């Protein structure tokens, strides 16, 4: 029973993460463009989904759309709800990454005749990946934990299984502790990897300042 | 080859270029000098529309450069070398040279690599083809940047203060490469303070101040008898 929920949580998290990455890259890139309308659209998306609770968004997908005649499975609602919600955060991470790349990179690309899409793809985004990987991984960790919102709409995920096992056996404590442990097993390695990667990145940055014999000669 | 007609440029309230009229012939080596803030960088940046003029026209090869055609026209006609090199740090030296030829000019990879090696040899950095830019000295990076500009085989190369960010010792290695280039039929527009370079290479020198072209002539003219007071004052400072 817990195994089933565990698997469901992994499935929802994996698909939602993919959706969040796609949305995040698209809106992150849009939010750095020169087009005011596009930037406005990205802003609205980010502000709307960051500033309303995920639970309400998921309830809306579950109940609101049903009233409008659109019935989605709880699995799809989970992927969409969590994916769109975290897409807004990923978008901000991507935007920060892009703006951290020196303007000279864009100028070099433009002077060679790259279009906006081309230089984003070949020159700017590949450089941002290294910078945004740690915050992105933290988003993945939050995303995994947030899939537990599915329990509120009987999503058969890990949290739901813990809920139902707890209420049928009345072993509330062990049930939730065990579920928590399973979430921990998923999240801890990711968080640890992100932290180590970031530390390594910082260390490499300092070693990159190479010893420059010319500079020394000048000052002597 | 390049023609600026009544070009004006404003940055907000600041009037940076004032009625610039300028023609550069095919194969000509034009050096632009002037104090900082005189508009010389903005002038070259208008030639590939990194800055669009507020008013006036820019023609490349008789065709007017506009917001609409700038990517296509720049892609076909000009390359640029920057003060801060602007190499792509996530790519090796060779990849820096082949990226545009492969992606934009649709050259087969082998051919692009062959060309890239040829131009790396010209700038004397063949042995660095697999290095990343961050491992190179400033002078080496700038030579790679020049090779990158050459690798796209454009008729025009714009140089925006190519030696200003370099250690004094490495300036000459970059200038030597540029002097070598000047023997080719490439149209070169160079913003620089290196008067020695101008003397060897330039067909014509332009002195800019406060957004205007104040004086122009052969390099000897500037060394021997500049007419304008402002030119004299500026030259007395940089020639010492």
- Tell me if B75 and A112 make a contact (CB, 8 A cut-off): yes
Measured at the CA of A14, the angle between CA A13 and CA A17, to 5 degrees, comes to 80
How far separated are the first and last CA of chain B, in Å rounded?
Answer: 35
Cα–Cα distance for residue pair B73/B57, rounded to 1 Å: 14
Chain B residues 157-216 with a CB less than 8 Å from chain A: 158, 167-170
For the beta sheet containing B78-81, the strands, ordered from the edge strand earlier in sequence to the opposite edge, are B78-81, B156-160, B187-191, B29-33, B204-209, B212-217
Tell me the ipTM for this assembly.
Answer: 0.92
* C-alpha distance from residue A127 to each of A61, A121, B96, B230 (Å): 36, 10, 14, 45
Q: For residue A140, what are its two tokens?
A: 């993945």
Can you name the residues that pair with B204 across neighbouring β-strands? B30
- Tell me if A113 and B158 make a contact (CB, 8 A cut-off): no
Cα–Cα distance for residue pair B40/B160, rounded to 1 Å: 9
How far B99 CA sits from the closest chain A CA (Å)? 9
Residue of A nearest to B152 (CA): A112
Cα–Cα distance for residue pair B147/B134, rounded to 1 Å: 17
Query: What is the predicted pLDDT for the residue at A2?
Result: 80
Q: Which segment of A27-31, A104-108, B131-135, B226-230 scores lowest on mean pLDDT?
A: B226-230
How far A140 CA sits from the closest chain B CA (Å)? 25
Asked if B107 contacts B88 with a C-beta cutoff of 8 angstroms, the reply is no
Chain A residues 20-49 with a CB less than 8 Å from chain B: none
Give every CB contact of residue B189 below 8 A, 6+ residues apart in sequence.
Answer: B2, B24, B30, B32, B44, B47, B156, B157, B158, B159
Can you name the residues that pair with B7 across neighbouring β-strands? B20
Can you name the residues that pair with B190 across neighbouring β-strands? B31, B159
What confidence tier does A216 reach under pLDDT thresholds 50, 70, 90?
A: very low
Q: pLDDT tens digits, residue range A175-189?
A: 889 889 999 999 999
Query: What is the predicted pLDDT for the residue at A212?
Result: 37
A218 part of contact set with chain B, CB < 8 Å: yes
Assess whether pLDDT exceeds 50 at residue B131: yes
Q: Tell me the average pLDDT of chain B.
A: 93
Cα–Cα distance for residue pair A183/A177, rounded to 1 Å: 10
Asked if B81 contacts B139 with a C-beta cutoff of 8 angstroms, the reply is no
| Domains of chain A with bracketed CATH | 2-204 (1.10.3720.10)
Measured at the CA of B104, the angle between CA B47 and CA B131, to 5 degrees, comes to 95
Can you name the residues that pair with B2 across neighbouring β-strands? B24, B60
Chain B residues 98-157 with a CB less than 8 Å from chain A: 99-100, 103-104, 134-135, 137, 152
What confidence tier does A36 reach under pLDDT thresholds 50, 70, 90?
A: very high
How far separated are the first and last CA of chain A, in Å rounded?
Answer: 73
Torsion sign over Cα B55, B58, B62, B63: negative
Torsion sign over Cα B146, B148, B150, B156: negative
How far B215 CA sits from the closest chain A CA (Å)? 28
Cα–Cα distance for residue pair A154/A158, rounded to 1 Å: 11
Q: pLDDT tens digits, residue range A70-129?
A: 888 889 999 999 999 999 999 999 999 999 999 999 999 999 999 999 999 999 999 998
Asked if B209 contacts B38 with a C-beta cutoff of 8 angstroms, the reply is yes
With a pLDDT cut of 70, the percent of chain B lying above it is 100
Cα–Cα distance for residue pair A15/B117, rounded to 1 Å: 44
A100 part of contact set with chain B, CB < 8 Å: no
Q: Which segment of A56-70, A136-150, B1-15, B129-143 scores lowest on mean pLDDT?
A: A56-70
Measured at the CA of A157, the angle between CA A155 and CA A160, to 5 degrees, comes to 75
Asked if B191 contacts B32 with a C-beta cutoff of 8 angstroms, the reply is yes
Asked if B130 contacts B94 with a C-beta cutoff of 8 angstroms, the reply is yes
Residue with tokens 């990159």: A208
On chain A, the residues whose CB falls within 8 A of the CB of B103 are: 114, 118, 122
What confidence tier does A150 reach under pLDDT thresholds 50, 70, 90?
A: confident
Query: What is the predicted pLDDT for the residue at B240?
Result: 65
Residue B64: φ, ψ to 5° = -75, 135
Q: Mean pLDDT over residues B154-173, rounded? A: 93
Which is it for strands B212-217 and B204-209: parallel, antiparallel or unpaired?
Answer: antiparallel
* C-alpha distance from residue B34 to each of A134, B38, B74, B160, B210 (Å): 46, 6, 26, 13, 9
For the beta sheet containing B14-24, the strands, ordered from the edge strand earlier in sequence to the opposite edge, are B14-24, B2-11, B55-60, B63-64
Q: Where are the alpha helices (DSSP H) in chain A?
A: 2-30, 36-50, 54-59, 65-67, 74-99, 103-112, 116-119, 125-146, 158-169, 172-207, 213-219
On chain A, the residues whose CB falls within 8 A of the CB of B75 are: 112-113
Nearest to B161 by CA among B201, B137, B192: B192
On chain B, the residues whose CB falls within 8 A of the CB of A115 are: 71
Query: What is the predicted pLDDT for the residue at A200?
Result: 83
Give every CB contact of residue B178 below 8 A, 6+ residues apart in sequence.
Answer: B146, B159, B162, B188, B190, B197, B201
Assess whether pLDDT exceeds 60 at residue B179: yes
- Supply the pTM of this predicted model: 0.83
């Amino acid at each position: 029973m817990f195994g089933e929920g565990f698997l469901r949580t992994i499935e929802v998290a994996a698909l939602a993460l993919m959706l969040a990455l796609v949305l995040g890259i698209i809106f992150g890139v849009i939010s750095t463009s020169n087009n005011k309308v596009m930037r406005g659209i990205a802003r609205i998306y980010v502000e709307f989904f960051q500033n309303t609770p995920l639970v309400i968004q998921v309830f809306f997908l579950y109940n609101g759309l049903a009233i409008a005649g659109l019935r989605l499975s709880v699995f799809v609602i989970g992927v969409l709800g969590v994916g769109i919600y975290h897409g807004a955060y990923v978008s901000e991470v991507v935007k920060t990454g892009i703006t951290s790349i020196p303007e000279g990179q864009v100028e070099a690309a433009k002077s060679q005749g790259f279009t906006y899409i081309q230089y984003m793809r070949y020159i700017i985004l590949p450089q941002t990946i290294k910078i945004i990987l740690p915050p992105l991984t933290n988003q993945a960790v939050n995303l995994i934990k947030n899939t537990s919102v599915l329990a509120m709409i009987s999503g058969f995920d890990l949290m739901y299984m813990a809920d139902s096992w707890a209420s049928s056996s009345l072993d509330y404590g062990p049930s939730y502790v065990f579920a928590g442990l399973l979430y921990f097993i998923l999240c801890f390695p990711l968080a640890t990897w992100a932290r180590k990667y970031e530390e390594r990145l910082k260390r490499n940055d300092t070693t990159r300042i190479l010893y420059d014999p010319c500079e020394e000669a000048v000052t002597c | 080859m390049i023609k600026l007609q009544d070009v004006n440029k404003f940055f907000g309230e600041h009037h940076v270029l004032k009625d610039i009229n300028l023609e550069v012939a095919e194969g000509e080596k034009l050096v632009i000098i002037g104090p900082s803030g005189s508009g010389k960088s903005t002038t070259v940046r208008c030639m590939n529309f990194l800055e669009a003029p507020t008013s006036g026209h820019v023609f490349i090869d008789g065709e007017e450069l506009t917001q609409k055609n700038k990517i296509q026209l720049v892609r076909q006609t000009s390359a640029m070398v920057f003060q801060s090199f602007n190499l792509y740090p996530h790519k090796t030296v060779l990849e820096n040279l082949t990226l545009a030829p492969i992606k934009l000019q649709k050259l087969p990879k082998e051919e692009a690599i062959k060309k890239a090696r040829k131009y790396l040899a010209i700038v004397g950095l063949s042995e660095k083809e697999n290095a990343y830019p961050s491992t190179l000295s400033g002078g080496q990076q700038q030579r790679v940047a020049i090779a990158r500009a050459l690798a796209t085989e454009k008729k025009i190369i714009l140089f925006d203060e190519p030696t200003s960010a370099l250690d004094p010792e490495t300036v000459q290695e970059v200038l030597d490469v540029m002097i070598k280039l000047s023997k080719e039929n490439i149209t070169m527009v160079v913003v620089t303070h290196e008067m020695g370079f101008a003397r060897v290479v330039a067909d014509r020198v332009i002195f800019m101040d406060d957004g205007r072209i104040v004086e122009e002539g052969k390099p000897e003219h500037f060394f021997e008898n500049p007419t304008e007071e402002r030119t004299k004052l500026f030259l007395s400072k940089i020639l010492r």
